[in-house]
Amino acid sequence: MRDIEIVGAIATALNSSPSVQQALEQTLALVTELLGLRTGWVWLVDSETGHMYSAASRNLPPYLQEPGRMGGESWCWCIEQFRNGTLTARNVDVMECSRLRPAVRARQTKLTRGLAHHASVPLSFQGQPLGIMNITAPAMRRLTKPELRLLSTIGMQVGIAIERARLAEESARLARADERTRLAREIHDTLAQGLAALALQIETALRNVGKDPDRVRERLEQALNTARANLDEARRSVTELRATSGKPLAQALAALVREFTSESGIAVTFDVSGTCALSRETEAELFRIAQQALTNVRQHSNARAVVVTLTCTKRIATLTIEDDGSGFDTRRIAADRHGITGNGEFLHLGQDAELD
């Protein structure tokens, strides 16, 4: 009965959470509390890059909170076993944490909070490996077989929730791509053909000019140049619309955050509210600014955590990037540093967007 209650509570958390990250955080809280543990973290495989990234965590010790400690591409035993397929639901067990081992050997108890081992639970869906859930506590005990079976069941629940979220995201992306293809076809069938006809008509008129003054010829030539330029622009727009992945800004930022976390180990929380109705150019600029901001965080801030927020209303989209790093005095920026100025210039493009 207790196991059924635990599984039911986790199912409720997974179904009621608005995002995968929040669902994982609630799951970690329930699992650690109900099993008498304290700390947990979840690795997930990014479906686009195949890299591992830290998707959620609970009560990490100070040693693992340091920048770079939780980089998904850094070597560790649980990820290695996950990659080579030996970490399965049949052999979930307690293992020494290779990421904590240097601090454990140096007896840096304040940094490890007494943690040295963890149980690793593979997350999968229909045989497809999705990630790992690690849970631990000081003086980590070897879990019982019923507890391991329960964790395996929870791992399957989490895997279903992750796959469901991925399918929803993929469905939205495909819908966006279909819409862009439709727009590209409409542009080709209307604007582009109309401009081509205009250019042909003007060329014919020029060939038949007899006694018309030079002024008429000059204006006809200008019209021809304008028509050709518009035709080139229409063709360029069609090419870009067909070539784009169709990924909306929120999904693009979510993928950027996952990749950043995987490479840097710095925990990033991404929150989005509202539906953004922005031009393609505005979305591209906001994405570029977020990309540059995260690069600055990684290179200069010495941050441990970052929060990226995208808030949309009917008229305004606001992108906020915050970190807990050391910061700097903007009045002392060197004259040859143009990053902040370059990002700020976007605010003057006349678009309905803001940047914090």
Q: Give the CATH H-level superfamily of domain 249-355.
A: Histidine kinase-like ATPase, C-terminal domain (3.30.565.10)
Percent of the chain's residues with pLDDT above 90: 13
Give Cβ neighbours of residue 194 (< 8 Å, ≥ 6 apart): none
The tokens of 316 are what?
């305004």
Instruction: Give the residue extent of every domain in the chain.
Output: 2-169, 176-243, 249-355
pLDDT in tens, 213-236: 666 677 677 777 777 777 766 665
Question: 267: burial class by Cβ within 10 Å (0-12, 13-18, 19+)?
Answer: buried
pLDDT in tens, 189-205: 656 666 776 777 777 77
Rg of the chain over all Cα atoms, to the nearest angstrom = 27
Among 40-49, 231-240, 246-255, which is the least confidently predicted range? 231-240
- Which is more confident, 38 or 3? 38
- Topology of domain 2-169, CATH: Beta-Lactamase (3.30.450)
